[in-house]
Chains A and B, each alone.
Chain A
Amino acid sequence: MTSQKPLRHFSRQYLREEVLPSTFCPGCGAGTIINCFLKAVNELGHQNLDRFVFCSGIGCSAWIPSPHFKADSIHSTHGRAVPVAMGVKLARPDLKVVVFGGDGDLAGIGLNHLVHAARRNVDLLTIMVNNMIYGMTGGQVAPTTPKGRRTTTTPYGNTEYPLDAANVITAAGAAYVARWTTHHVFPLKDSIKKALGKKGFSFIEVYSQCHTMYGRRVGFKNSVDMVRWFKDSSVTVSRAKTMTAEELEGKLVIGEIVEREKLGLLENLELVAKEATKIHD
């Protein structure tokens, strides 16, 4: 027998091992998203996260980078990770700045900032973990909760329609928008790889399971059951185009929603600086 090196998961080199095991509930989708993100980083050839800055707000998903990633991270107030990240990126354009947040954080309290970041096409990657619920606070209805669902603050069923964040951000002008689920790990990883190489604003929405605060209350046996739901109810963007509104009812539309070339905020600010210098010389 030749001596073998102990097996070590590739992701360990990027993780702050002293904070493990993580505080995420068993079966949470955050682990899958961490895995996909780090796989993308690994495949892009980054041996560490030293040239990344992660910004997040409040909520379970904000804990993905902070404290788990062995990297610089700024864990800001509820909903405000995007403007904090903008400040970091404009002060340090040489660093990759990535925002992680939940649907409540980014599409609820922080939606204003998200829309305007897309409009400005600021050079950031934002990954929105959409678990359709306010998980950390105990399972209150979110702006993304499907209509009719019972939550702790909609005990008779949700009366409101859910927000389609990926399409809102597409309309606002982002350079790259995609949506996946925690079932679609390979396309999600490839999407992150692509987005990390793009100029301008990239937005990736990921449907993720929160069995503790959502799934078990709306009839899912366990988190695997929820991932199975993602698999069975998702349809691709191109297929969705051929379907009627009734057929799309209850479906999760996944895939790349937009990819376009346009100047990012950094390039536009450089042009302004050139113009300003010319005028004042």
Chain B
Amino acid sequence: MKTLEEGGRLFLQGGIACSEGAIAAGCRFYAGYPITPASEIAERMAERLPTLGGTFLQMEDEIASICSIIGASWGGVKSMTATSGPGFSLMQESIGYACMTETPILVVDVQRAGPSTGQATKCATGDLMQARWGTHGDHEVVALSPNSVQEMFDLTVRAFNLSEQYRVPVILLADEIVAHMRETVDVPPFERIELTSRRRASRRDEPPFGGVGDEGVPPMPPLGEGYHIMVTGSTHDEWGLRSTGDPEIHRKLVSRLVNKIRRHAEEITDNEEQNIEDCRVGVVSYGCVSRSVYEAMRRHPELRIGHLRLKTIWPFPEKAIRALAERVKTIVIPEMNLKQIYFEVQRASGRESDLAPINKIGGGLIITPEEIASKVKEVSS
């Protein structure tokens, strides 16, 4: 098996690129449960991690998978799991636990057609709202959306960096098409990849769950060194001591957990913009469908499409949406779901009309370049 540490130009499948990105990011613990279309990620990790001093576990279910990566992350090891819709549903409670305990983990959700078992092998992008609100209570997570095999590598690295920087679970919202397709990838030598690691507590008087203002990220102490850390999903004070009744302690904790992401949305969000300066119609896309937008623009330059591709879904890139809405009369929103991001664009742009959705579900059929072009033509006339 060729390993990629030296870097180079390779022809890889999306799932494999994700695994290699994780390894490049320093991930040394993977726990997962088989599920289509995410199993390739696990299989690659099973092959690779034991050669790198890492641990691969196939767990009894997705709940155990996410719980063990939370344990391993507290043990000081960068950790991840990968799944698809049904498994992602099972993980929701623990995603909330990771938010509340500020545990850095990566959860890859390779989206397929739901709800329920749906069409297990077919592509869809119907889990965006679940990624945002799947777990109960006020919280914020980070969710990234790759659209190529290259980004399955790059955004996996970025996902780990963000999770370590903000001590937050990060969700890589891949989709079946992106995870299963094969493309050329430029892999930099691993040693040259910029990595972020959690800030370690170095002193006993640094609280692990606060003491950093109302939007800060506290340092994470190591286990086994006498810090006597209390990790709990119950509301806790800055030292981790449970406080199940005090309104102020709850307000302070949960507000900070939300603020540390919301108030840093500008640093976290990352979009691709094409032809925004000179466009007549805007298109907002993400994931595999953005590939059809590229092709529609190539085939139909006369349509003067301005493309805003969301590489970050959560926090939602409101500023970029507003900027696009100020430039164009109409925004086309192609989605492989029934208007999940449409309403977010409506909210962020402040528009009630002039939003043109294209929604296609079932059979994993991607929205084609011509479908996008004809919608753009329709709204331009």
Q: Interface on A for B, CB 8 Å cutoff?
A: 16, 19, 48, 50-51, 53, 55, 66-67, 70-77, 80, 82-92, 94-95, 112-113, 116, 269, 272-273, 275-277, 280
Contact = CB atoms under 8 A, between A and B. Distances in A.
Given A80-B64, A87-B31, A91-B76, A67 B70 contact: no
Contacts, number: 136
B55 A90 contact: yes
Contact of B51 (A48, A73, A92, A280): A280
B75 A92 contact: yes
A87 B226 contact: no
A266 to B, nearest CB: 10
Contact of A53 (B67, B73, B224): B224
A275 B50 CA distance: 9
Given A51-B224, A72-B223, A273-B50, 6 more contacts: A50-B225, A84-B68, A90-B55, A116-B64, A273-B53, A276-B50
A86 B229 contact: no
The majority secondary structure among interface residues of chain B is mixed
Nearest to A87: B71
Contacts of B234: 75
A88 B72 contact: yes
A89 B3 CA distance: 28
Contacts of A77: 67, 93-94, 97, 233
17 contacts: A19-B241, A50-B224, A53-B224, A67-B241, A71-B228, A83-B64, A83-B67, A83-B71, A84-B71, A86-B57, A87-B69, A87-B71, A90-B72, A90-B75, A91-B73, A91-B79, A269-B50
Nearest to A97: B71
A91 B222 CA distance: 11
Interface of B: 1, 3, 29, 31, 47, 50-51, 53, 55, 57, 59-61, 63-65, 67-77, 79, 93-94, 97, 223-234, 241-242
B230 A75 contact: yes
Contacts of A16: 228
Nearest to B67: A83
- The 5 closest A-B CB pairs, nearest first, are A91-B75, A87-B71, A87-B68, A276-B50, A87-B72
Nearest to B47: A276
Nearest to B234: A75
A82 B65 CA distance: 11
Nearest to B79: A87
Nearest to B105: A87
B67 A84 contact: yes
A100 to B, nearest CB: 14
Contact of B230 (A50, A66, A76): A66
Nearest to B78: A91
Contacts of B73: 87, 91
A67 B237 CA distance: 12
A190 B77 CA distance: 34
B247 to A, nearest CB: 20
B363 to A, nearest CB: 34
Contacts of A85: 71
Nearest to A55: B71
A75 B97 CA distance: 10
A67 B241 CA distance: 7
